[in-house]
Amino acid sequence: MAVIELTPAQARQRQQQGVRLIDVRDAHERVTGMAEGALGVDRAVLEAAPLAHAPDLQAPLLLICQSGRRSMQAAETLAALGYTDIASVAGGTSGWQAAGLPTVLPDGDIDLDFHERYSRHLKLPEIGLAGQQRLAEATVLVIGAGGLGSPAAYYLAAAGVGTLRIADDDVVDRSNLQRQILHAEDRIGQPKVQSAATTLYALNPRTRIEAVAERVTSANVDRLLEGVDLVLDGADNFPVRYLLNDACVQHGVPLVYGAVHRFDGQVSVFDAGRQRGVCPCYRCLFPEPPPPEAAPNCSEVGVLGVLPGVVGLLQATEALKILLGIGTPLSGRLLQFDALRMQFRETRLAPDPDCPVCAPGRAFPGYIDYAAFCAG
Protein backbone atom coordinates (compact mmCIF):
# COMPACT_ATOMS: atom_id res chain seq x y z
CA MET A 1 0.00 0.00 0.00
CA ALA A 2 1.33 3.46 -0.91
CA VAL A 3 1.63 5.88 1.98
CA ILE A 4 0.03 9.26 1.36
CA GLU A 5 1.18 12.65 2.59
CA LEU A 6 -1.21 15.19 4.03
CA THR A 7 -0.68 18.86 4.62
CA PRO A 8 -0.76 19.91 8.29
CA ALA A 9 -4.19 21.46 7.73
CA GLN A 10 -5.53 18.24 6.19
CA ALA A 11 -4.01 16.20 9.01
CA ARG A 12 -5.56 18.49 11.60
CA GLN A 13 -8.95 18.10 9.97
CA ARG A 14 -8.67 14.30 10.03
CA GLN A 15 -7.42 14.39 13.62
CA GLN A 16 -10.50 16.40 14.65
CA GLN A 17 -12.60 13.67 13.04
CA GLY A 18 -11.07 11.17 15.48
CA VAL A 19 -8.03 9.86 13.61
CA ARG A 20 -5.08 9.08 15.90
CA LEU A 21 -1.97 11.26 15.43
CA ILE A 22 1.36 9.87 16.66
CA ASP A 23 4.49 12.02 17.03
CA VAL A 24 7.40 9.69 16.25
CA ARG A 25 10.21 12.08 17.26
CA ASP A 26 12.49 11.18 20.15
CA ALA A 27 11.45 12.31 23.62
CA HIS A 28 14.08 15.06 23.83
CA GLU A 29 12.62 16.59 20.66
CA ARG A 30 9.01 16.44 21.78
CA VAL A 31 9.70 18.56 24.87
CA THR A 32 9.98 21.61 22.58
CA GLY A 33 6.31 21.26 21.63
CA MET A 34 3.94 18.76 19.99
CA ALA A 35 0.92 19.00 17.75
CA GLU A 36 -2.11 19.31 20.01
CA GLY A 37 -3.68 15.95 20.67
CA ALA A 38 -0.73 13.92 19.38
CA LEU A 39 0.52 10.84 21.17
CA GLY A 40 4.29 10.80 21.63
CA VAL A 41 5.94 7.50 20.74
CA ASP A 42 9.59 7.20 19.64
CA ARG A 43 9.83 5.86 16.10
CA ALA A 44 11.95 2.90 17.18
CA VAL A 45 9.43 2.00 19.88
CA LEU A 46 6.50 2.31 17.49
CA GLU A 47 8.12 0.16 14.83
CA ALA A 48 9.13 -2.48 17.39
CA ALA A 49 5.64 -2.82 18.89
CA PRO A 50 3.08 -1.03 16.72
CA LEU A 51 0.08 -2.93 18.06
CA ALA A 52 0.70 -1.52 21.52
CA HIS A 53 -0.02 1.97 20.22
CA ALA A 54 -2.21 1.33 17.17
CA PRO A 55 -3.94 -2.04 17.71
CA ASP A 56 -6.32 -1.84 14.72
CA LEU A 57 -4.50 -2.37 11.41
CA GLN A 58 -7.55 -1.10 9.44
CA ALA A 59 -8.09 2.08 11.48
CA PRO A 60 -6.77 5.30 9.90
CA LEU A 61 -3.49 6.54 11.41
CA LEU A 62 -1.45 9.74 11.12
CA LEU A 63 2.27 10.03 11.80
CA ILE A 64 4.23 13.24 12.33
CA CYS A 65 7.91 14.02 13.03
CA GLN A 66 9.94 17.25 12.76
CA SER A 67 10.15 17.64 8.98
CA GLY A 68 8.10 14.76 7.56
CA ARG A 69 10.95 12.48 6.56
CA ARG A 70 11.04 10.14 9.57
CA SER A 71 7.27 9.94 9.79
CA MET A 72 7.15 8.88 6.14
CA GLN A 73 9.76 6.19 6.77
CA ALA A 74 7.86 4.97 9.82
CA ALA A 75 4.62 4.98 7.87
CA GLU A 76 6.18 2.86 5.13
CA THR A 77 7.41 0.38 7.76
CA LEU A 78 3.93 0.12 9.29
CA ALA A 79 2.32 -0.24 5.86
CA ALA A 80 4.62 -3.19 5.20
CA LEU A 81 3.37 -4.70 8.47
CA GLY A 82 -0.23 -4.58 7.25
CA TYR A 83 -1.60 -1.15 8.22
CA THR A 84 -4.04 -0.21 5.48
CA ASP A 85 -4.83 3.48 6.06
CA ILE A 86 -1.74 5.40 7.13
CA ALA A 87 -0.55 8.90 6.27
CA SER A 88 2.45 11.09 7.04
CA VAL A 89 2.22 14.82 7.77
CA ALA A 90 4.21 16.76 5.16
CA GLY A 91 6.54 19.29 6.75
CA GLY A 92 6.16 17.65 10.14
CA THR A 93 5.90 19.64 13.33
CA SER A 94 7.77 22.53 11.72
CA GLY A 95 5.07 22.76 9.05
CA TRP A 96 2.34 22.33 11.65
CA GLN A 97 3.68 25.29 13.63
CA ALA A 98 4.24 27.39 10.49
CA ALA A 99 0.58 26.82 9.58
CA GLY A 100 -0.43 28.27 12.95
CA LEU A 101 -1.98 25.01 14.16
CA PRO A 102 -2.12 24.48 17.94
CA THR A 103 0.77 22.90 19.81
CA VAL A 104 1.20 21.89 23.42
CA LEU A 105 4.10 21.19 25.76
CA PRO A 106 4.31 17.59 26.97
CA ASP A 107 5.35 18.61 30.49
CA GLY A 108 3.13 21.19 32.12
CA ASP A 109 5.65 21.79 34.93
CA ILE A 110 8.10 23.53 32.55
CA ASP A 111 7.11 26.95 31.28
CA LEU A 112 7.08 28.22 27.73
CA ASP A 113 10.06 30.52 28.33
CA PHE A 114 12.19 27.51 29.27
CA HIS A 115 11.24 25.64 26.10
CA GLU A 116 11.74 28.59 23.80
CA ARG A 117 14.97 29.81 25.39
CA TYR A 118 16.70 26.41 25.41
CA SER A 119 15.00 24.79 22.41
CA ARG A 120 18.29 24.14 20.59
CA HIS A 121 19.71 22.37 23.64
CA LEU A 122 16.53 20.39 24.15
CA LYS A 123 16.83 19.02 20.62
CA LEU A 124 20.28 17.59 21.33
CA PRO A 125 19.99 14.02 22.67
CA GLU A 126 23.22 14.57 24.61
CA ILE A 127 21.52 17.36 26.58
CA GLY A 128 17.74 17.18 26.29
CA LEU A 129 15.40 18.04 29.13
CA ALA A 130 17.39 16.22 31.82
CA GLY A 131 20.64 17.95 30.86
CA GLN A 132 19.05 21.38 30.71
CA GLN A 133 17.56 20.87 34.13
CA ARG A 134 20.99 19.81 35.36
CA LEU A 135 22.44 23.08 34.10
CA ALA A 136 19.65 25.00 35.82
CA GLU A 137 20.59 23.38 39.13
CA ALA A 138 24.33 24.06 38.76
CA THR A 139 26.42 26.73 40.46
CA VAL A 140 29.63 27.97 38.84
CA LEU A 141 32.16 30.22 40.51
CA VAL A 142 33.70 32.60 37.98
CA ILE A 143 36.87 34.26 39.21
CA GLY A 144 37.21 37.60 37.47
CA ALA A 145 34.73 39.60 35.40
CA GLY A 146 37.45 40.67 32.97
CA GLY A 147 38.79 39.38 29.68
CA LEU A 148 38.21 35.67 30.32
CA GLY A 149 35.35 35.89 32.77
CA SER A 150 33.32 38.10 30.42
CA PRO A 151 32.82 35.70 27.47
CA ALA A 152 32.74 32.66 29.73
CA ALA A 153 30.05 34.07 32.03
CA TYR A 154 28.08 35.41 29.05
CA TYR A 155 27.81 32.01 27.41
CA LEU A 156 27.26 30.11 30.65
CA ALA A 157 24.33 32.39 31.44
CA ALA A 158 22.99 32.02 27.91
CA ALA A 159 23.31 28.23 28.19
CA GLY A 160 21.12 28.24 31.31
CA VAL A 161 23.52 27.66 34.19
CA GLY A 162 21.35 28.33 37.22
CA THR A 163 23.75 30.32 39.38
CA LEU A 164 26.88 32.26 38.50
CA ARG A 165 28.89 33.46 41.49
CA ILE A 166 31.24 36.11 40.09
CA ALA A 167 34.10 37.42 42.24
CA ASP A 168 36.08 40.53 41.26
CA ASP A 169 37.08 43.59 43.28
CA ASP A 170 37.93 45.82 40.30
CA VAL A 171 35.94 48.60 38.64
CA VAL A 172 35.24 49.13 34.95
CA ASP A 173 37.89 51.16 33.13
CA ARG A 174 37.74 52.42 29.55
CA SER A 175 40.74 50.25 28.63
CA ASN A 176 38.68 47.17 29.57
CA LEU A 177 36.12 47.71 26.83
CA GLN A 178 38.46 46.49 24.09
CA ARG A 179 37.97 42.89 25.28
CA GLN A 180 35.74 42.68 28.38
CA ILE A 181 32.37 42.32 26.70
CA LEU A 182 30.25 42.35 29.87
CA HIS A 183 30.88 46.07 30.33
CA ALA A 184 29.89 49.27 28.52
CA GLU A 185 30.93 52.91 28.26
CA ASP A 186 28.20 54.17 30.59
CA ARG A 187 29.39 51.84 33.37
CA ILE A 188 32.94 53.14 33.66
CA GLY A 189 33.73 53.44 37.36
CA GLN A 190 31.14 50.82 38.39
CA PRO A 191 32.23 47.63 40.16
CA LYS A 192 32.80 45.00 37.50
CA VAL A 193 30.56 42.50 39.23
CA GLN A 194 27.70 45.02 39.22
CA SER A 195 28.22 45.72 35.52
CA ALA A 196 28.42 41.98 34.84
CA ALA A 197 25.15 41.35 36.66
CA THR A 198 23.40 44.05 34.61
CA THR A 199 24.49 42.49 31.32
CA LEU A 200 23.80 38.90 32.32
CA TYR A 201 20.36 39.57 33.77
CA ALA A 202 19.43 41.36 30.54
CA LEU A 203 20.58 38.30 28.60
CA ASN A 204 18.95 35.64 30.76
CA PRO A 205 16.84 36.61 33.77
CA ARG A 206 16.55 32.92 34.68
CA THR A 207 20.22 32.82 35.73
CA ARG A 208 20.92 33.99 39.28
CA ILE A 209 23.97 36.23 39.56
CA GLU A 210 25.79 36.38 42.88
CA ALA A 211 28.00 39.46 42.56
CA VAL A 212 30.91 39.28 45.02
CA ALA A 213 32.95 42.49 44.96
CA GLU A 214 35.95 40.95 46.69
CA ARG A 215 39.49 39.97 45.84
CA VAL A 216 39.98 36.22 46.19
CA THR A 217 42.20 35.45 49.18
CA SER A 218 42.99 32.57 51.49
CA ALA A 219 40.54 34.12 53.95
CA ASN A 220 37.50 33.99 51.69
CA VAL A 221 38.22 31.24 49.14
CA ASP A 222 36.50 28.51 51.17
CA ARG A 223 33.36 30.63 51.42
CA LEU A 224 33.43 31.37 47.71
CA LEU A 225 33.68 27.66 46.88
CA GLU A 226 30.82 26.68 49.16
CA GLY A 227 28.15 24.82 47.18
CA VAL A 228 29.76 25.27 43.75
CA ASP A 229 29.95 22.54 41.13
CA LEU A 230 32.84 24.02 39.18
CA VAL A 231 35.31 26.91 39.26
CA LEU A 232 36.23 28.87 36.14
CA ASP A 233 39.56 30.65 36.50
CA GLY A 234 39.58 34.05 34.85
CA ALA A 235 42.32 35.43 37.08
CA ASP A 236 45.21 37.42 35.68
CA ASN A 237 47.88 36.68 38.29
CA PHE A 238 49.78 33.67 39.60
CA PRO A 239 49.01 34.00 43.35
CA VAL A 240 45.27 33.63 42.69
CA ARG A 241 45.81 30.73 40.28
CA TYR A 242 47.80 28.75 42.84
CA LEU A 243 45.28 29.58 45.54
CA LEU A 244 42.37 28.43 43.36
CA ASN A 245 44.17 25.23 42.47
CA ASP A 246 44.86 24.35 46.09
CA ALA A 247 41.31 25.20 47.16
CA CYS A 248 39.75 23.16 44.34
CA VAL A 249 41.87 20.14 45.25
CA GLN A 250 40.86 20.55 48.87
CA HIS A 251 37.14 20.84 48.05
CA GLY A 252 37.10 18.26 45.24
CA VAL A 253 35.85 20.76 42.66
CA PRO A 254 36.97 20.78 38.99
CA LEU A 255 38.90 23.88 37.91
CA VAL A 256 38.68 25.16 34.34
CA TYR A 257 41.89 27.09 33.71
CA GLY A 258 42.56 29.72 31.08
CA ALA A 259 45.31 32.27 30.45
CA VAL A 260 46.20 34.78 27.72
CA HIS A 261 49.41 36.59 26.80
CA ARG A 262 49.74 38.97 23.84
CA PHE A 263 48.61 36.72 20.95
CA ASP A 264 48.67 33.35 22.74
CA GLY A 265 46.27 31.55 25.03
CA GLN A 266 45.93 28.25 26.83
CA VAL A 267 43.16 26.21 28.41
CA SER A 268 43.02 23.09 30.57
CA VAL A 269 40.91 21.35 33.19
CA PHE A 270 42.42 20.44 36.55
CA ASP A 271 40.34 17.82 38.33
CA ALA A 272 42.82 16.29 40.75
CA GLY A 273 40.52 16.92 43.70
CA ARG A 274 38.06 14.32 42.43
CA GLN A 275 40.59 12.07 40.66
CA ARG A 276 43.83 12.01 42.64
CA GLY A 277 46.67 10.24 40.93
CA VAL A 278 44.73 10.18 37.66
CA CYS A 279 44.33 13.85 36.75
CA PRO A 280 46.96 16.54 37.33
CA CYS A 281 46.48 19.82 39.13
CA TYR A 282 47.86 23.24 38.23
CA ARG A 283 50.92 22.62 40.41
CA CYS A 284 51.72 19.49 38.41
CA LEU A 285 52.02 21.71 35.35
CA PHE A 286 53.71 24.63 37.09
CA PRO A 287 55.48 23.40 40.25
CA GLU A 288 57.11 26.80 40.60
CA PRO A 289 55.79 30.13 39.32
CA PRO A 290 57.87 31.95 36.71
CA PRO A 291 59.71 35.08 37.84
CA PRO A 292 57.51 38.21 37.59
CA GLU A 293 59.59 39.65 34.75
CA ALA A 294 58.96 36.51 32.67
CA ALA A 295 55.18 36.72 32.97
CA PRO A 296 53.99 40.33 32.67
CA ASN A 297 50.23 40.93 32.69
CA CYS A 298 48.10 42.41 29.92
CA SER A 299 48.37 45.97 31.25
CA GLU A 300 52.15 45.75 30.81
CA VAL A 301 52.52 44.04 27.42
CA GLY A 302 49.05 44.27 25.87
CA VAL A 303 46.74 41.60 24.45
CA LEU A 304 44.86 41.11 21.19
CA GLY A 305 41.29 42.07 22.04
CA VAL A 306 39.61 38.98 20.59
CA LEU A 307 42.03 36.52 22.21
CA PRO A 308 40.31 36.41 25.65
CA GLY A 309 37.06 35.80 23.78
CA VAL A 310 38.46 32.68 22.13
CA VAL A 311 39.96 31.34 25.36
CA GLY A 312 36.93 32.27 27.47
CA LEU A 313 34.63 30.46 25.06
CA LEU A 314 36.82 27.37 25.24
CA GLN A 315 36.60 27.56 29.03
CA ALA A 316 32.81 27.88 28.88
CA THR A 317 32.68 24.87 26.56
CA GLU A 318 34.70 22.78 28.99
CA ALA A 319 32.53 23.94 31.88
CA LEU A 320 29.32 22.91 30.12
CA LYS A 321 30.77 19.51 29.18
CA ILE A 322 31.72 18.85 32.79
CA LEU A 323 28.36 19.98 34.17
CA LEU A 324 26.49 17.87 31.63
CA GLY A 325 28.81 14.87 31.86
CA ILE A 326 29.32 14.73 28.10
CA GLY A 327 32.35 14.58 25.82
CA THR A 328 35.96 14.37 26.89
CA PRO A 329 37.16 17.25 29.09
CA LEU A 330 40.64 18.75 28.75
CA SER A 331 41.73 17.12 31.99
CA GLY A 332 45.28 15.90 31.51
CA ARG A 333 45.67 18.01 28.38
CA LEU A 334 46.84 21.58 27.83
CA LEU A 335 45.37 23.24 24.74
CA GLN A 336 47.50 26.11 23.45
CA PHE A 337 46.25 28.64 20.90
CA ASP A 338 48.39 30.86 18.67
CA ALA A 339 46.15 33.57 17.24
CA LEU A 340 48.69 34.85 14.74
CA ARG A 341 49.09 31.41 13.18
CA MET A 342 45.47 30.40 13.91
CA GLN A 343 46.90 27.19 15.28
CA PHE A 344 46.06 24.90 18.18
CA ARG A 345 48.54 22.59 19.85
CA GLU A 346 47.82 20.00 22.53
CA THR A 347 50.23 18.83 25.21
CA ARG A 348 49.60 15.82 27.41
CA LEU A 349 49.86 16.41 31.14
CA ALA A 350 50.55 13.74 33.75
CA PRO A 351 49.88 13.99 37.49
CA ASP A 352 53.00 14.50 39.60
CA PRO A 353 53.22 11.59 42.08
CA ASP A 354 55.15 13.90 44.42
CA CYS A 355 52.86 16.92 44.05
CA PRO A 356 52.69 18.71 47.43
CA VAL A 357 48.94 19.23 47.05
CA CYS A 358 47.32 16.48 44.95
CA ALA A 359 49.52 13.39 45.42
CA PRO A 360 47.38 10.39 46.46
CA GLY A 361 47.16 10.01 50.23
CA ARG A 362 48.77 13.37 50.91
CA ALA A 363 47.00 15.51 53.49
CA PHE A 364 46.08 19.03 52.48
CA PRO A 365 49.02 21.23 53.52
CA GLY A 366 46.88 24.33 54.06
CA TYR A 367 46.97 27.66 52.31
CA ILE A 368 50.23 29.57 52.09
CA ASP A 369 51.36 33.11 51.44
CA TYR A 370 50.81 32.91 47.69
CA ALA A 371 52.08 36.42 46.97
CA ALA A 372 55.40 35.61 48.64
CA PHE A 373 55.51 32.20 46.93
CA CYS A 374 55.06 33.78 43.49
CA ALA A 375 57.49 36.58 44.22
CA GLY A 376 60.24 33.97 44.54
Rg over CA atoms, the chain: 26
Q: Would the CA dihedral through 80, 83, 86, 88 be positive or negative? A: negative
Assess whether 42 and 169 both reside in one domain: no
| Residue 67, domain member (yes or no) | yes
| Residue 159, domain member (yes or no) | yes
Predicted confidence at residue 15, as pLDDT, reads 95
Assess whether 87 and 179 both reside in one domain: no
| Residue 242, domain member (yes or no) | yes
| Residue 268, domain member (yes or no) | yes
Predicted confidence at residue 295, as pLDDT, reads 60
Predicted confidence at residue 292, as pLDDT, reads 65
Number of compact structural domains in the chain: 2
Q: What distance in Å separates the CA atoms of residue 35 and residue 144, rounded to the nearest whole number?
A: 45
Assess whether 187 and 261 both reside in one domain: yes
Assess whether 81 and 193 both reside in one domain: no
* Residue 265 DSSP code: E
Assess whether 19 and 89 both reside in one domain: yes
Assess whether 102 and 143 both reside in one domain: no
Q: How does pLDDT run across 277-286, given as a tens digit for each residue?
A: 999 999 999 9
Assess whether 219 and 337 both reside in one domain: yes
Q: How confident is the model at residue 291 (pLDDT cuts 50, 70, 90)?
A: confident
Assess whether 181 and 75 both reside in one domain: no
Residue 232's alpha-carbon distances to 179, 241, 284, in angstroms, are 18, 11, 18
| Residue 15, domain member (yes or no) | yes
| Residue 125, domain member (yes or no) | no
CATH number at 253 reads 3.40.50.720
Q: How does pLDDT run across 128-173, given as a tens digit for each residue?
A: 989 999 999 999 999 999 999 999 999 999 999 999 999 999 999 9
CATH number at 46 reads 3.40.250.10
| Residue 132, domain member (yes or no) | no
| Residue 121, domain member (yes or no) | no
Q: How does pLDDT run across 31-43, given as a tens digit for each residue?
A: 888 999 999 999 9
Domain that holds residue 230: 138-368
Assess whether 53 and 160 both reside in one domain: no
- Report helix, strand or coil for 160: coil
Q: What distance in Å separates the CA atoms of residue 53 and residue 55, rounded to the nearest whole number?
A: 6
| pLDDT average, residue stretch 38-52 | 94
Global pTM reads: 0.84
| 45-57: b (≥16 Cβ within 10 Å) or e | ebeeebeeebeeb
Assess whether 89 and 25 both reside in one domain: yes
Q: Would the CA dihedral through 316, 317, 318, 319 be positive or negative? A: positive
* Residue 206 DSSP code: T
Q: Is the pLDDT of residue 346 over 90?
A: yes
Q: How confident is the model at residue 1 (pLDDT cuts 50, 70, 90)?
A: low
* Final residue belonging to a domain, choices 94, 109, 124: 109
Predicted confidence at residue 96, as pLDDT, reads 96
| pLDDT average, residue stretch 9-38 | 92
* Residue 279 DSSP code: S
Assess whether 101 and 204 both reside in one domain: no
Assess whether 290 and 192 both reside in one domain: yes
